[in-house]
Structure formats: structure tokens, C-alpha cells
Structure 1
């Protein structure tokens, strides 16, 4: 059955939620429920199986987390023994970490009554055994990790489980968990309430639906796949590889892109190439990919969300699995690679990057679905954001596919063309060429190995220290320079004579004012945040970078 939206919209306080949950919601600053929360929470509190389909960034995590916590609090009123009542499965370690974090935020006023444990981290099972022996109310993990604990006898779900949640359900089978999920079904009780949350209703989701759900309500909201144009602005810019490098250098050094930014590429090597390239200009960035340890990936995302650093270069490697006609060469190379990747890793899906102002597609995504998920990293909830996609001649067919998928009318494209005048930043181009060529394959390989070794050291050698000194963990940054390419200090400055004429007089672009406008300046964070709110991608309003003068918001 499909839910019809005829009821009057509800607020959180009208959903018969426990006061402790309402206080936690108020502390998080959630004034009103999103559409999916408004529709899903009452149904789940009634005990119905629900299939939730809503776009990325619509608030699906809270839509199932809130009723799960409420039902556990209800059970606690009459329960005699402490038992595991809810199991939440997700396809990636990062998403498990994020879900557990949301639950802990929502249970801050009832942390003694509702306990949540994340078993996704790749540690020895015996390390997590004491946590499961205490029978936490909620267990979060990937299907593989949960099944291992069940087989080891550390996790008994048959007698006590009442709630099963599978988040990002459309990725569970594509991440290779089909056999694990089917085997797990045999370890669950005959009767339980189930929830599937997904951004799409693919064939994999339909298979999971028949396997997990019983006479479910399907919540398929009448909403676009991505945020509306009033909230999310899309730009495309025709450029080849060297021009892409020049433009991104100019945009960042001239402070035309403001606020938190995710730069997406299609391979791990490109992650490090972009980092090493920007490093030469004194632009701090960190990388996020499947080769890094899971704890480091989660810690990087957490620090990015906390505003400790502003730019992440992320490899969307899952897009390489089904490249279609384009990218077959890259796919073949990926299959031949001997590098150890973590299949329980995801970047363009599931992870809740908070307050992201800009998404930059340095490499255009290989299919429309990947574009949607990348764009979904920004403009989440009621926030605004922008997506800037570089498109080479070879990538133009991919842009056309995305345009056809997402256009709003017969001839209306969501993309706004940006005509960047490279001649205005010709001096930047000379610097960019030298810096780009300096990042050789050897330098990339050394940087990749150095980063992984450094992060593994941080993970293992300092583990006990960080347990005793948790505040020191906040000092650990992941955007430190790798220095596998010779860094020339003068490149970090932007002398006034290379600033485009249209930008002179703006202030803050010369060496004299460099410190004031440095990316890592805490003093300018508030102003950047305000600028992001009013105009997330400030560069698009400078007439010197476009053929036609654009109106300012």
C-alpha cells in the first residue's frame, strides 16, 4: 500500500514523543520536521512496516531514529531485563558511524535508558564482545560485521529483537551484502517491525522489500530527485584538464568560492594529485577515499563538519563500477589494481557532510545517479548550496545525459553555463602549469603511501593515548601538507599584478592582506558563513568571469 498525504502537517511536539526526545531535538536546532519525517514518524510509531523513499539530504536518518528511540523508551517502562531491541544495518562504516552519532544526539537526555553501539569498525571481534555482552538497546553495523558477531555467538537477536532498519537499502546489494542479509534473516525472530530507507526504488530495493517487509506502507514522496533550483544552483563550465586546474586554483586563491567545499574526482590517484597541486599554493585540503582506514575517514568527516578545515577532495569510486559507455578504460584499470580498498566505504552516498556550501565536480560523474548523489552533499535540509561541474569535450555526453534526466521542462536545463575568461587569469595559468606538471605519478604514489602510513600510525600507535586524552584527538588534522612535491613559498601569495582587473579593489587579495583572508583564519569563519548563506558561489556573480553580467542575489 502507498501512503496518501491527506493529513494536516504535524510538528514534533504533536507526534506524542517523549519530552526527553523533544528536548534533544530542540538542542539540535530542528524547528520543524522535514516532509519525510512528518510522514514517516507517525506510521512507525503505529508499528507499521515502512519503505521510505526520499532524496538524499531529506532527513531519512532522523525519520527512523526518532521512532526507534521512542519505541525503546516505551518498552523500558515494563521491561524486566536489558535486551537488544533494534538492529540498524547500513552499507558503509562511515554511515554506521553517522547513524550512531545521530542516535546519541537524540538520546542525550536519556543516555542511561537508551544505549547504542556501532560494531562496524574493523577491529577484532573480541574487542567488541564486552559491548555486546551488556546488551545495548540499539546495534548499528554493516551486514558483514553483524553476521560475524552472530556466528561468533556474541550477538543473539532471535529472542529480543523488535525493530530492523536497513538504511541506504538500494546500496546494500550493490555493495555485495546480498548473501549476508539473506543469512542474517535466519537469525531474526519471526515477528519484528522493519524499515527500509532508500534514495531510489531500484530492483535491489524491491528484492529487499520482499525479503524483509510484511505488508508495508510505501512512502514515495512527490518531490524532485534533487533540491529545487531555489535552494540548489547548478553550473557547468567547459574546460580540459589543464584549464580545470587553472580555474580551481584561481577560484580558491581569489576567495571566489567561500564556505565548505567538496571536490569530487573519479579515482584515488586524482585525490592525491589535486591535494599535492593545491598544496603548492598554500591551500590546505584533506583527502577521503576507500584506501584510508575507516576510523580516519570518520574522523576526517567529523572534523570537516566541525569546521576545522574547509576543503575535502573525495574520490567517488563507486561510480566506476558501472561506467556505461564512457570510462571503460578507467574501469579496467580499477579492476587490475592491486591496491586494497574498503568495500564498506562510501563518499557520495549516505555520509552527512554538514553545511557544505559548494560541490565541485573536477571529474564529471559517470552517470546521472552519481551526479544526483554528489549534488546531494550540499543543500541538505533547508540549507542552500551550489554545484560547479567541469566538463571536458570527452565528458560532454555525460552532461547531456544528466541534463535529460533532470531538466524541469521540455527545454529547460537545470545547468547554468559559466563562461570563465581564462585570458583574465593568464598569469595564474603559467603558475598552474608548472605546479600541475610537478605532481608526477611517482609523487602521487609516494603521497598515497605516506598518507596511509601516517594515518595508520595515528590510528594504532596513539589509540591508548587518545583514549586517555580525548581532547587531544581534536588537534589531529588530516589536511596537513604531504610535501612529496617541492613547495615554493612564493606561490602561496597572490601578488597584486596578477589579480584580474575586475577584482582589483576588492581587498584581501594581495600579499599584505593575505593573513587576514587566509583559509585557516578563524576570525573570517563567521563572515564566510554569512556570505555562504546569501550567495554560496560568489564567483558566479563577477561580470569579469562571464560574458553577460549576472544579477546579484
Structure 2
């Protein structure tokens, strides 16, 4: 299947070709035709599967068929998303896919002066991407009216609820016209999300992409059992490998993200942190430096990292294991995107072993243990539950090959 077979118009096809996209992903091939018909949609797919294009392409095509004059433009499509980084990323995607449509897009988010954002709104905008707080603030100041919105998109709905935006979403919904199309996208569909969807959608079509495993098959995963106090030493040891040109490192807290950056910088490993306590300019600078490979290691918390989209990011390291298995899937989904190869390594201390059991239950596979490294916990791979066992030796030759050390872990394959 090609994008052309989905009846995408030539201006958008031209942009997609320039971006190197010719074949739609499963979520795109199923969601785009529904959205083009103007139907409400409830869509779920794991991270890294192309959800943004699944709603951006039909919005651009439908709005492009009925243009407004520049000075008279009113907001015809609103995309609401939880984080500033993700909002910027979505706006960039609209600009890329819609460069030949004549449609105008912009983005509003907090943490920066609103002056430039207000100026862009006054010039006229067809498509607005926003975070909830800044959107409501500008609405209260009468800089934004949603009375002409034709298509409303709620993106990353599960993260919206996690971050406590449920009341903001309800306020935004009340400001929309009665007649409009709603596209609802979420990585997961727990009962709380389904309840919210039912309150926003009218006779929606449902698209749920369920891969054989919640993790992308091309991602090589590995576990290091290590005491908490030795995690910093293990991280430094792994990063001695010059083959790791860049890595995204996850911590559970903002404080620990800053501590890891300090530890790495003292060892002359160029690192920056990105989390909620950083100013917007600092976050954008850190992300830009990482994308441009000026910074080798980006240390992030989960909320800040949801909008990180870096081409060909090959390494994700879980310095601390998340206590929710779904978060693990989102984390490692920063690598192995669009079918590319990727590697996800996780440092597991004694307290975190229970988290690994839940993660392996969710993904439906055992994660290989890398146990021959300098900082390994004694019997780390076998003293836990059976869920922490190594991959089976079945099929191996009698003469066993030397296991990889902490320095050459990347040669170890999953089974």
C-alpha cells in the first residue's frame, strides 16, 4: 500500500515524498481514510508508529480543499497535546506535510513569552497546536476563539490524564462548536481513557493497532543487575564505548536527572538534562544540541521525554526502571522508530526487580540479562524470580562462546 492509494492529494504527496515517506504505517493506513470522511475516531497505537501523520494528513487535505484568505483566517483545527516538546514536534510535522497546501499553522505553549505567539495568531492561523494551560490562558485573554474549529484532536490522551489535565480538556471542549469532528489518539486505552473518549466522541470509528508485542521487534533489550550505588559507574563504563555516539538516559526524578548530568560531565562525557523544572528555552536548547549531536547524552524524565523525536536514535538507557510497565514501552520506543534498529538497556537494582516482572509480563517476553560486567550483583540474573531468568541455551553449540562484557554488550542478541 502507498500513500497515493489512500487518495492523498498531490500537494501532500509531494511533501511526503520529499520527507522520504512512501508507505503508510498500519495506524496511518487505517486512520487516514476514516478521518478523510469526517468521522469521529478513537485510535490507539504504541509510540513511534506514526500517529501524528495519521491525523495531520487528513486535516491538511480536508482544510486545504476550502482555503481562507490570509488576513481573514480563523482557527479551523485545534490539536491539544500534553507537553511543550510534543506540541512543537506536531507543529513541525504539519509544516512539513503541508508546505504546499497554503495552510498556516502555529503552536502555543507555556514557559515563554506569549508576545510572539499572539502576533502569529493575529496574522491568521488555520491549524493551531497547543498545550492546555497556555491555550486556556490565551482564550481567557480573548486572543483565541474556538468557535470556528472544524476538527479537534486530542493527542496523547493517556498522558493528559496522568498529568492532571482532565478539567482543562473539559473546559476546552465546552468552547468548541457543537458540530465538529473529533480525533482522539492515545497510546493506551484504560477505562479512564475510554470514559473520556465517550464524553467527547460521537459514534466514533475505532482503530486499535495491537502488535504481537508492545515493544518494537527491532529493539534489542538487555538488563544489567546492579546495586543502586554502582549505577553511575556502570553508566560511565558503558559510555566508554565510542560506538555509542549518542544516548537518551531516563531517570524517574528531576533531581536524579541533574545528578546524572553532573556525574557524566565530571568524566568529560558531554550531557544535558531535560525536565519540567528547566525553562522552555533551556529545554529547547538541550534538545536541539542533542539532535545536532553537539550533546552526546540527554538525560530526561518521562514527562519531558514524551515529545522527543530524534531521527536514528539508537540507544536508550533506563538508569532507573519505571514503576509502570507502559512507561517502559514508551521509553524504549524513542529508539527503533519507523523500523530502524535500536538498543534499550536497563539498570536494575534490588528494589526494581518487581518492576521488571511487570514489564516482562506486559511485553510477553524475557529480557536478556547481561551479567558478566564489573558491577554485577552477585547471582543477579538468577537470584530473582523466574521472570528474570536468562534466555534459553537451547540450540547453542556445546562449546559456549564467551559472553559479552559491559563494554561489548551490543553484540549480544535477544532470543
* Aligned 8 A contact 1:48 1:216 in 2: yes
What does residue 125 of structure 2 align with? 136
User: Which residue is 1:17 aligned to?
Assistant: 8
TM-score (norm 1): 0.66
Show CA shifts across 1:54-87 (max 9, x none).
Answer: 0010000111111111111111289995322100
Q: Within the alignment, does 1:91 sit opposite 2:82 as a pair?
A: yes
Paired positions, count: 390
**Distance change >3 Å, CA 541–CA 363, structure 1 → 2:** farther
- Residue 135 of structure 2 corresponds to 146
Task: Please give the residue correspondences for 1:416-495 in structure 2 after superposition, counting only pairs within 5 Å.
Answer: 416-422=368-374
1:55 aligns with 2:46: yes
Structure 2 residue aligned with 1:248, among 235, 258, 278?
A: 235
Q: 2: CA distance between counterparts of 1:90 and 1:289? A: 17
Q: 1:378 to 1:173 in 2, by over 3 A?
A: same
Output the CA distance in 1 between the equivalents of 2:339 and 2:39: 28
TM-score relative to the length of structure 2: 0.87
**Distance in 2, Cα, partners of 1:201 & 1:364:** 22
Instruction: Name the SS for the 2:35 alignment partner.
Output: helix
Check whether the contact 1:163–1:193 (CA below 8 A) recurs between aligned residues: yes
Q: How does 1:314-393 map to 2 (within 5 A)?
A: 314-316=300-302, 346-393=303-350
Query: Measured at CA, do residues 546 and 303 of structure 1 come closer, stay the same or move farther in structure 2, by a change above 3 Å?
Result: closer
Matched residues in 2 for 1:421 and 1:208: separation?
47
Query: 2:395 maps to what in 1?
Result: none
1:235 to 222, 245, 256: 222
Write the distance in 2 (CA, Å) between the matches of 1:347 and 1:386.
21
1:177 to 152, 160, 165: 165
Contact 2:11 2:98 in 1 (8 A): yes
Residue of structure 2 in register with 1:432 after alignment: none
The higher radius of gyration belongs to 1
Match of 1:101 in 2: 92
For the residues of structure 2 that align with 1:552 and 1:89, how far apart are their CA atoms? Answer: 40
Paired residues of 2:316 and 2:344 also in contact (CA < 8 A):
yes
Unpaired runs of at least 5, structure 2: 377-400
Separation (CA, whole Å) in 2 of partners of 1:394 and 1:18: 54
Partners of 2:343 and 2:409 lie apart in 1 by 19
Cα 1:227–1:80 shift into 2, 3 Å: same
Q: Distance in 2 between matches of 1:124 and 1:276?
A: 29
Cα pair distance change 1:192/1:265, threshold 3 Å:
same
Q: 1:41 to 1:183 in 2, by over 3 A?
A: same
**Mapping 1:211-226, distance limit 5 Å:** 211-224=199-212, 226=214
Match of 1:163 in 2: 151
Q: Which runs of 5+ in 1 are unaligned?
A: 1-9, 317-345, 425-539
Offset of residue 254 of structure 1 = 3.5
Residues 419 and 546, structure 1, Cα contact 8 Å, conserved in 2: no
Q: Which of 99, 104, 109 is the matching residue for 1:120? A: 109
DSSP 3-state at the match of 1:422: coil
- Aligned partner of residue 69 in structure 1, secondary structure: helix
1:73 to 64, 70, 73: 64
Could you report, residue by residue, the CA deviation over 1:316-342 in whole angstroms, capped at 9, with x for unpaired residues?
A: 3xxxxxxxxxxxxxxxxxxxxxxxxxx
Is the Cα–Cα contact under 8 Å of residues 249 and 319 in structure 2 kept in the other structure? yes
Query: Cα offset for 1:394?
Result: 1.8
- Counterpart of 1:187 in structure 2 is 175
Q: Label 1:246 to 1:144 Cα distance change in 2 as closer, same or farther (>3 A).
A: closer
Give 4+ residue runs of structure 1 displaced > 6 Å after superposition: 77-80, 546-553
